[in-house]
Structure 1
Amino acid sequence: MEGQQTQPGSPDGVERPRLRAAAAALTSLAAVAATSLVAGPAVADTSAVPCALPRTAAHHSLGLDSWNTAYPRPDRNLDAVMIFLSFPDSSPLTTPAELAADHFPATSDFFRRASYGKFLLRAHPLRQWVRMPQKSTAYRIKRDWDADRRSAYLRDAIAAADPLVDFSRYDVVYLVADPDAPGVDSDATKVVNFDQPVRADGADLKRAVTVFERHPPDRNVLAHETGHVFDLPDLYHRPADGKGDWDTHVGDWDVMGSQFGLAPEPFGWHKWKLGWLNRWQVRCVAGPADRMLTLEPLAAAPARGASVGTRLAVVRTGANTALAIEARSATGNDRDICTEGVLIYRVGNEAASGGGPVQVIDTHPKTEACWDESVYPPLADAPLGVGETFTVKEDGVRVEVADRTPTGAWNVKITTAVPRR
């Protein structure tokens, strides 16, 4: 989950604190939320191809023509420090080592598989508790956190850890609270982006992941939050009154939708954005045309010695929209998948995090699957199976799944400019 920018600040997913000032002294610190961060600086993306959408000012825009350099790009190895925070009103019932093991190496393994070995997140957990100056109840921790209280928490945490941590050595900072402290709310876990970097140890701290998880934690929770650190958006839908279904946009598909999803492998579009798919693994389909192609399962590890296969097909449907087509099979991070097949989803570059930048298309709208395990059964059977055809009428695109190869890839025919009916 992330946050949103306010005055004085807010976090990523639902809210984002805004740390305004101070440098090493950490004076006038205010927290800021990630959901409304502006587009930020950019660097050209040399892997961009014609069907790549341009990046916009939307928070965590899914445009791909440039990279927002306010975020570290996980196309190289990155280092993360885990700082464990205790409070005067509670004696921890767990150890830092136990809490670190809740998340690592599982989170590193998730990203190693998702990136096809191109990215390693190296965790460096402290071996001791860092004592906060105030009781846990004094910060009034909760999901939609008061900005001043959140700012105080961040200010105190960074100041308390500074004598023990050389922040200049790390790309990612995890602030992990004692899960048994009375004032800790597990629903408050989120990424906090700083409106202005906080200076510590000669480095600019731009964000922190505030972790308030139970022990043991929710599945894949840190992979979801770390995705925000890499400029990925929340894909769930948060009901206005907090009630109702949160997973109507993408269901189980992609960890940025639900950390509990049965198919948490990041969408091919996200992998393209992060640099894990290159231009030869992405096929642009322009119309009118019939295009036959073979899609390798998105979550499958590359076969040793095999040539680079296509992982993602894209049909540009407008200046700011595209259809993405990929194969999902029971392997890697998708080993618990409900339904294998060819998944179709719509991508928009103008929708901000939490605003539906990705919409999975249900090719079986009259049925559902895995009702006892799926976070949203109507989309659990969204992919097309062998011998099935689906037309996205509003975009004039038809997708036919012919068969599977002996190696498990999917042979697909994509027809563009299909007459609308």
Structure 2
Amino acid sequence: LPTGPCALPGITDNVSEAAPTPAGFARAAGTVRALTLFIDFPDAPATLSPMARFGEFFPAATDYFRVSSYGRLTYVPKPLFRWLRMSRPLAAYGITRGATFDPASDRGYHALSREIVHAVDPYADFRDYDVVNVIMAPNAGPPATRSVLSVTFSGADLGLRTGRGAPFRNVSFIWSRQTGLSAFRVLNHENAHVFGLPDLYYTDDRAGRAPVGHWDPMDEDWGPSNDFLGWHKWKLGWLTPGQVHCAPAGQLPTEHDLTPVSTPGGAKIVVVPTGPHTAFVVEARASGLLDPLVCRPGVLVYHVATDVPSGRAPIRVVDATPHSRGCYADSRYVDPDLTDAPFRPGETFTDRTSGVTVTVLTENTDGTYRVRVTPATRRPSSPTAPAPPVPHP
């Protein structure tokens, strides 16, 4: 897990970019057991078997985590193959985008979860699992193309106990169906919240360019597959210490050979701190099993802010071609502007505020990229209090 001067503290009471991830979230390395439940409603009875619904996500979601983690995460779904019928019509629970987990209300996710816990208690002991997936009948609620209801409650104790006294926590609710290629990745996105990752997109639905685009599923998890950023792989415990290079402020320029994140082995990221909660991160991206859309392979540079809440763009990718429309201008599920964001050999990124520069020197014959990094000219000041958290759909 992240340690050293480039492991930046940040928000600790919600999902965030803080490294390492605070206690309370599910671990993302080793064997993770996911209790997987299937729910329907009197006015929206399931029209397919729970096995068929399960097959919409698995083994694809498991394989995705295995490949992205370089085999460090063994994700084991543990399905309870029966539809658990709730007692009231769906509308009675008041489930909308942004619905809360309020113990004082007879609506919302707390009310729904009370019934789920009661229904599951005879069949499963929640203490045996690290993660809970609640997968709804696909005909319950609006289509995902109209309103995305899938949501995760993670980290904090939700105040709900099972009959055996186990806490109901680190739970993802999966609604409807996403469309397009690799629609299963809504589960990978939601479970990444269980592991502590924030939303990278603006959750207030503001218009404008995506902060990260298709470079990480915490921004865009629709359409063709995409891999996690190297910073996220470090947070999740998928990188060894030798795969993370740190360039503290005030040091001399250094050179690094970076292996694309889609390829196992090799150095993966250079972290260049610019403040107590901020850094530029440098990594190589090239086409791979989880990254089929990399039309301009090269070196991706992005800014990380560990004190910026989920849903407020805690990561922003630097666009090496800001006047280009990108490579996939006609794709419905890909923000095209950033698809050609990586820097190519001979190009340099400069941040005038901090003095950080990143120059791509060469693309080596083995597919790695050699970069020269000039750290920030000023040492970071002491940390300040983190910003308040926001929900994470």
TM-score (norm 2): 0.86
Give the structure 1 partner of residue 344 of structure 2.
Answer: 385
Q: Give the Cα–Cα distance (whole angstroms) in 2 for the partners of residues 133 and 216 of structure 1.
A: 29
Partner SS state of residue 97, structure 1: helix
Q: Give the Cα–Cα distance (whole angstroms) in 2 for the partners of residues 85 and 263 of structure 1.
A: 27
Give the structure 1 partner of residue 197 of structure 2.
Answer: 232
How far is the alpha carbon of 1:67 from its aligned partner? 3.9
- Per-residue CA deviations over 1:164-183 (Å, capped at 9, x if unaligned) read 22222211111111111367
Give the structure 2 partner of residue 109 of structure 1.
Answer: 63
Q: Give the Cα–Cα distance (whole angstroms) in 2 for the partners of residues 212 and 114 of structure 1.
A: 24
Letter in 1 for 2:199: D
Q: Give the Cα–Cα distance (whole angstroms) in 2 for the partners of residues 54 and 253 of structure 1.
A: 23
1:6-25 equivalences under 5 Å are: none
Name structure 1 gaps, 5 residues minimum.
Answer: 1-44, 303-308
Letter in 1 for 2:300: L
Contact 1:388–1:400, Cα closer than 8 Å, also in 2: yes
TM-score (norm 1): 0.80
Give the structure 2 partner of residue 34 of structure 1.
Answer: none
How far is the alpha carbon of 1:52 from its aligned partner? 1.7
Give the structure 2 partner of residue 269 of structure 1.
Answer: 231
How far is the alpha carbon of 1:290 from its aligned partner? 2.3
Q: Are residues 170 and 288 of structure 1, via their aligned partners in 2, closer, same or farther at CA, if it must alter by over 3 Å?
A: closer
- Which of 112, 115, 118 lines up with 1:153 in the alignment? 112
How far is the alpha carbon of 1:335 from its aligned partner? 2.3
Contact 1:253–1:263, Cα closer than 8 Å, also in 2: no
- Per-residue CA deviations over 1:148-172 (Å, capped at 9, x if unaligned) read 3212212112212222222222111
Q: Give the Cα–Cα distance (whole angstroms) in 1 for the partners of residues 225 and 361 of structure 2.
A: 23
Give the structure 1 partner of residue 329 of structure 2.
Answer: 371
- Per-residue CA deviations over 1:120-151 (Å, capped at 9, x if unaligned) read 11011222211111122322322132653212
Q: Are residues 223 and 294 of structure 1, via their aligned partners in 2, closer, same or farther at CA, if it must alter by over 3 Å?
A: same
Name structure 2 gaps, 5 residues minimum.
Answer: 379-393
- Per-residue CA deviations over 1:323-344 (Å, capped at 9, x if unaligned) read 1000011013112334311000
- Which of 157, 168, 186 lines up with 1:221 in the alignment? 186
How far is the alpha carbon of 1:232 from its aligned partner? 0.6
Give the structure 1 partner of residue 222 of structure 2.
Answer: 260
Query: Runs (4+) of structure 1 moved beyond 4 Å?
Result: 182-186
Q: Are residues 82 and 152 of structure 1, via their aligned partners in 2, closer, same or farther at CA, if it must alter by over 3 Å?
A: same
- Per-residue CA deviations over 1:353-377 (Å, capped at 9, x if unaligned) read 1122111111221112121126322
Q: Give the Cα–Cα distance (whole angstroms) in 2 for the partners of residues 279 and 332 of structure 1.
A: 24
Partner SS state of residue 73, structure 2: coil
Q: Are residues 129 and 215 of structure 1, via their aligned partners in 2, closer, same or farther at CA, if it must alter by over 3 Å?
A: farther
Give the structure 2 partner of residue 76 of structure 1.
Answer: 30
Partner SS state of residue 196, structure 1: coil
- Per-residue CA deviations over 1:46-94 (Å, capped at 9, x if unaligned) read x512222124446223222x44221121121111111111222233221
Contact 1:253–1:262, Cα closer than 8 Å, also in 2: no
Q: Does 1:191 align with 2:152?
A: yes
Q: Give the Cα–Cα distance (whole angstroms) in 1 for the partners of residues 184 and 82 of structure 2.
A: 24
How far is the alpha carbon of 1:395 from its aligned partner? 2.2
- Per-residue CA deviations over 1:285-344 (Å, capped at 9, x if unaligned) read 234422111000112133xxxxxx210001111121111000011013112334311000
Partner SS state of residue 372, structure 1: coil
Give the structure 2 partner of residue 279 of structure 1.
Answer: 241
Q: Does 1:293 align with 2:248?
A: no
Q: Give the Cα–Cα distance (whole angstroms) in 2 for the partners of residues 80 and 219 of structure 1.
A: 15
Give the structure 2 partner of residue 177 of structure 1.
Answer: 136
1:276-355 equivalences under 5 Å are: 276-286=238-248, 287-302=250-265, 309-355=266-312
Q: What is the aligned length?
A: 364
Q: Are residues 251 and 300 of structure 1, via their aligned partners in 2, closer, same or farther at CA, if it must alter by over 3 Å?
A: same
How far is the alpha carbon of 1:221 from its aligned partner? 0.5
Q: Are residues 393 and 405 of structure 1, via their aligned partners in 2, closer, same or farther at CA, if it must alter by over 3 Å?
A: same
Letter in 2 for 1:269: W
How far is the alpha carbon of 1:390 from its aligned partner? 2.1
Contact 1:99–1:215, Cα closer than 8 Å, also in 2: no
Larger deviation, residues 276-285 vs 226-235: 276-285
Q: Are residues 290 and 183 of structure 1, via their aligned partners in 2, closer, same or farther at CA, if it must alter by over 3 Å?
A: closer
Give the structure 1 partner of residue 389 of structure 2.
Answer: none
Larger deviation, residues 91-100 vs 200-209: 200-209
Contact 2:226–2:292, Cα closer than 8 Å, also in 1: no
Contact 1:58–1:351, Cα closer than 8 Å, also in 2: no
Letter in 2 for 1:251: G
Q: Are residues 350 and 95 of structure 1, via their aligned partners in 2, closer, same or farther at CA, if it must alter by over 3 Å?
A: same
For the aligned residue pairs, the C-alpha RMSD in angstroms reads: 2.3
Q: Give the Cα–Cα distance (whole angstroms) in 2 for the partners of residues 153 and 160 of structure 1.
A: 11
Q: Are residues 184 and 314 of structure 1, via their aligned partners in 2, closer, same or farther at CA, if it must alter by over 3 Å?
A: closer
Q: Does 1:401 align with 2:360?
A: yes
Contact 2:121–2:162, Cα closer than 8 Å, also in 1: no
Partner SS state of residue 213, structure 2: coil
Q: Are residues 340 and 263 of structure 1, via their aligned partners in 2, closer, same or farther at CA, if it must alter by over 3 Å?
A: farther
1:62-73 equivalences under 5 Å are: 62-64=17-19, 66-73=20-27
Partner SS state of residue 92, structure 2: helix
Partner SS state of residue 64, structure 2: helix
Q: Which one has more relative contact order, counting CA pairs under 8 Å at least 6 apart? A: 2
Q: Give the Cα–Cα distance (whole angstroms) in 2 for the partners of residues 166 and 216 of structure 1.
A: 34
Give the structure 2 partner of residue 38 of structure 1.
Answer: none
1:33-112 equivalences under 5 Å are: 47-57=2-12, 59-64=14-19, 66-112=20-66
